[in-house]
């Protein structure tokens, strides 16, 4: 199992300096993760730092609250694509989803998908603010709008990925739609539990800890124990 290729190394915290982003990209390149997920203004920097590594550059749109105008989200996505972003993690409009305005939520996602011009789009539901019914609706709208992933959380809300949410999301979307867990994925056991439940990509800052633990277990130096996630931020 290639754990590294399931990880989007997260570099989204607002206090990160340019040097912090460079260091994070070096970690991503050496560890050969799936991608880094950087702040929009860091896309060009990450693209430069990761050139030739095969590691993708992901970024965010409408982050972290999802309540910017659809036209702004789409324009942001086009600009990020032009800057070199390979993947876009967008936040749907949480308030409109909670209000039952499904047409707005669908069209908001669809506009970003169109602006991404074939790039992978992951739709963040921010499950901490939603009922199970709203989570199901959000997942279905994301699929109908052409998204490639549904994602649990930004990592900046009161709660993050949980086992119950991954199971619910996986059961809701079609097999070709993937599920990303983010928020609280700080340990290998958590990642493995959520992977068993159907998550295929993980947002994490504890990338080195997770991969070091996996390598040690592969060498037989640590016992393998799998425990459920309790959620939380990155």
pLDDT for residue 231 is more than 60: no
Least confident of 154-158, 166-170, 230-234: 230-234
Calpha distance 36→25 (Å, rounded): 7
Tens of pLDDT, residues 141-161: 999 999 999 999 999 999 999
Q: Output the pLDDT for position 120.
A: 98
218: number of Cβ within 10 Å: 12
Range of the domain at 182: 57-218
In a domain, 21, yes or no: no
pLDDT more than 90, % of the chain:
93
Domain with residue 127: its CATH number is 3.20.20.70
In a domain, 173, yes or no: yes
In a domain, 137, yes or no: yes
pLDDT more than 70, % of the chain:
95
Q: Output the pLDDT for position 1.
A: 87
Calpha distance 199→179 (Å, rounded): 5
Pair 62, 91: CB distance under 8 Å:
yes
Active site residues per annotation: 89, 151, 180
118: number of Cβ within 10 Å: 8
In a domain, 89, yes or no: yes
Calpha distance 69→73 (Å, rounded): 6
Q: Stretch 108-125: mean pLDDT, rounded?
A: 98
Q: Output the pLDDT for position 49.
A: 98
Calpha distance 157→10 (Å, rounded): 15
In a domain, 208, yes or no: yes
- Residue 182 phi/psi, 5° resolution? -145, 145
In a domain, 46, yes or no: no
Q: Output the pLDDT for position 221.
A: 87
Can you tell me which residue has the tokens 């050496």?
A: 30
Tens of pLDDT, residues 36-81: 999 999 999 999 999 999 999 999 999 999 999 999 999 999 999 9
Count: domains in the chain? 1
- The model's pTM: 0.93
Q: Stretch 90-112: mean pLDDT, rounded?
A: 98
Q: Stretch 125-134: mean pLDDT, rounded?
A: 98
In a domain, 69, yes or no: yes
E strand intervals along the chain? 7-11, 35-38, 56-61, 87-91, 120-124, 149-151, 178-182, 201-204
């Amino acid at each position: 199992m290639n754990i590294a290729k399931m990880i989007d190394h997260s570099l989204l915290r607002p206090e990160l300096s340019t040097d912090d982003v460079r260091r994070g990209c070096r970690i991503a390149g050496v560890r050969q993760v799936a991608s880094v997920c950087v702040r929009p203004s860091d896309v060009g920097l990450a693209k430069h730092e990761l050139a030739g590594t095969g590691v993708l550059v992901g970024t965010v749109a409408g982050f972290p609250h999802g309540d910017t105008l659809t036209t702004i989200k789409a324009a942001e996505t086009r600009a990020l694509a032009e800057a070199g972003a390979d993947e876009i993690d967008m936040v749907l409009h949480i308030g409109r989803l909670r209000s039952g305005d499904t047409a707005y939520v669908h069209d908001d996602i669809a506009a970003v998908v169109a602006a991404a011009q074939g790039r992978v789009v992951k739709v963040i539901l921010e499950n901490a603010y939603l009922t199970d019914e709203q989570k199901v609706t959000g997942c279905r709208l994301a699929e109908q709008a052409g998204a490639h992933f549904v994602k649990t959380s930004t990592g900046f809300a009161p709660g993050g990925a949980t086992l119950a949410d991954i199971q619910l999301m996986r059961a809701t979307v079609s097999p070709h739609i993937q599920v990303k867990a983010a928020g609280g994925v700080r340990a290998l056991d958590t990642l493995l539990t959520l992977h068993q439940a159907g998550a295929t990509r993980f947002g994490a800052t504890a990338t080195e800890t997770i991969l070091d633990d996996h390598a040690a277990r592969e060498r037989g130096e640590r016992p393998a124990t799998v425990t459920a996630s309790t959620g939380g931020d990155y």
